Amino acid sequence: MTSIERHNEQQPAPSYLTVSSLRAELPCVSSEVTNADTFCWRLIIWAIGISIVVLTAIQPRRFIVGEIDAVKVSPLAQSVSIGLTILFLLIAFFAMTILVLKKNDRSDRLKVKIYCFLFILLSLLPTISDFIRGVPIKGLSLALVTIAMYLTSYFLAAPSVTWWVREVRIMMLILFIYGSLVSSLVFPEWAWSLGYDVESSTSLFSMRLFGTVNHPNSLAPIAVFYFLLGLFPGTRLKGEFLHTIATILVFLFAQSKTIWGVTAFLYGIHLLMMYFKMSKKNKLWFLTISVPCLSAIFVFLSYSSSTNRFFSDLMLDSQVSTFTGRLAIWLLAIEMWLASPWIGQGFGAWSTQASMLDKVSSLGFSATHAHNQILQVLSQSGLVGLGVFIMFMVSYFKTMNKMPEHIRSIIIWLSALFILHGSTEVVIQYNLGSGSTLTTWVLISLVMIIGKRQVYSKIN
C-alpha cells in the first residue's frame, strides 16, 4: 500500500469539497487557487451565459415552419460571432499563462488530461471530416470556441466546488430563469411562441416560452440543472424558495415534453430508492397512502369516456406515433451515416439546405440536427466519431467513479438527465448560441474540476 493510500484510509471523508479540506486530504493536489484563477473562472462562466443570450437575440427566431421569422438576423451577427471566438481564445490563452507561471504546480493529471483531450477531439472530428472529404470547412470557428472553453476549464486550478457551483447557479438564475420571465413580459412577441396548441397536439398551453435561449428544449434542462446543482452542500442562494417558484414556472412554460418525461422518470426512481431505504413502519405508511391514491386515479381514468377518447386520439396522432417527427429524422440520420460510414459528413450534414429537403411537409419543422446524440455523432463523424464518443464516456464514468459518495450521487442525477435527454435531442453541441452548450459545459467542466482535485498518480 502506498503512503497516499494509507493516508486516505486514515482520514474521514470531508463533509463537502473545499480547497482547504481536499488539500489537507490529498497532498498532491495542484497549487492554491489565486485571484487570477478566480477572476478567469468568473469570466468564462459569465462569458458563456451572456454569449448565449446575445446570440439568441440577434439570430433569427422562427416559432413555426413556414411563418415569417419572429426575429430577423442582425447585420452584426457575423461580427459578434467573430468577436466571441476571439474572446474565448484570449480567455484560454490567459488561463494557460496563469498555469505556466505557477512553478509549483506539478500534480499528475493524466486521466483528466485524457478526459479533456477526448472531448476536444470529439469536437474537432466534424471539422476533420470536412477536411478529409475535401469540402469547405464550415465548423472551424465553432471548434475553436469549444476548444477554448474546455482548455480554459483544464488550465485553471480547481476552485472550491461550492464556490464554482454557486457562481454557475447565480448566472443561470439571472440570465435564463429571471431573464426568460422578464423577457416574456417585456418582449412577449419575441419570448413566446403563440398558438403552440395549433402546432402541437400534445401541448398543454397555447403559449410556449422560448425566453433568452434559442429553444424551449434547451431552456427546460437549464431550469432542472439549476435545481439539481442546488443539491451541492452550501450552494443554496438567498431567497431560494422564490427562485424555485420562478424555476418551476420556466420549466412548465417551456413545455419540453421530453424533459418533463425524463424528470418524472428520474423522480420516480428517486421515490423508489427512498422506499427501499425506509423502515418497515414507514414503508407501510407509504403503501397505505400511495396504493389507494394510484388505484383511484386509474379507476377514474378507465371509466372516464372523455379521458379514454383523449388517449385514443392521442395514440392515433402522427405526432405522437412518430415522436413528433423524430422517426423520420432518425432515418435521415442513418442515411447520412451510411453515405459516409467511417468519417461521417461533417458539419454540413445538418446544414439548413440539407435538412429542409422535402422534410417540412412531413415533419412540420426543419431538422437542423439528428434529435439523438448517437445518431448526431454518426452522421457527422461516422464510426470514428462513435469510437471517440465511447472512449470519452468511459473516461467520464471512470473520472466520476473516483468522486466522494455524496458528490458522486449528485453528478449521477445530472448525468442521468443529460444522457436521457440525449435520446431525443442533441445535448453535446458546438454552437455557442445553443442553450445546450451551457449545460454540456457545466456538467463536463464540473466533472473535470472534481477530477483535478483527486490524486491519480501511482506512487511506488
pLDDT digits (tens, 9 = 90+) for 354-363: 555 555 455 5
pLDDT confidence of residue 362 = 52
Per-residue pLDDT band for 42 (boundaries 50, 70, 90) equals: very high
442 within some domain = yes
Residue 2 domain flag: no
Q: Which residue has the cell 425566453?
A: 211
| Domain interval for residue 333 | 13-452
Query: 413-458 pLDDT, tens per residue?
Result: 999 999 999 998 899 977 788 889 999 999 999 999 988 876 433 3
Query: Which pTM value belongs to this model?
Result: 0.84
CA distances 46 to 42, 84, 173, 250, 419, Å, are: 6, 13, 12, 20, 25
Give SS3 for 343: coil
Does 354 reside within a domain?
A: yes
Mention every residue, 6+ apart, whose C-beta is less than 8 A from residue 101: none
Number of structural domains in the chain: 1
Per-residue pLDDT at 329: 83
Q: Is residue 113 situated within a structural domain?
A: yes
AA letter at 370: A
Q: How many CB atoms lie within 10 A of CB 62?
A: 14
DSSP per-residue codes, 393-433: HHHHHHHHHTS-HHHHHHHHHHHHHHHHHTTTS--S---TT
- Parallel, antiparallel, or unpaired for β 192-194 and 207-209? antiparallel
C-alpha to C-alpha distance for 141 and 81, rounded to whole angstroms: 9
In the block, cell 494509507 appears at 6
Is residue 460 over pLDDT 50?
no
What CA–CA distance (Å, rounded) separates 54 from 32?
34
Across 215-229, average pLDDT = 95
For the chain, percent of residues with pLDDT exceeding 90: 45
Amino acid at 195: G
Asked, for residue 233, whether it belongs to a domain, the answer is yes
Q: Tell me 16's DSSP state.
A: S
Whether residue 458 lies inside any domain: the answer is: no
Q: Is residue 3 part of a domain?
A: no
The one-character DSSP state at 322 is T
104: cell is 509549483
Q: Considering the domain boundaries, does residue 386 fall inside one? A: yes
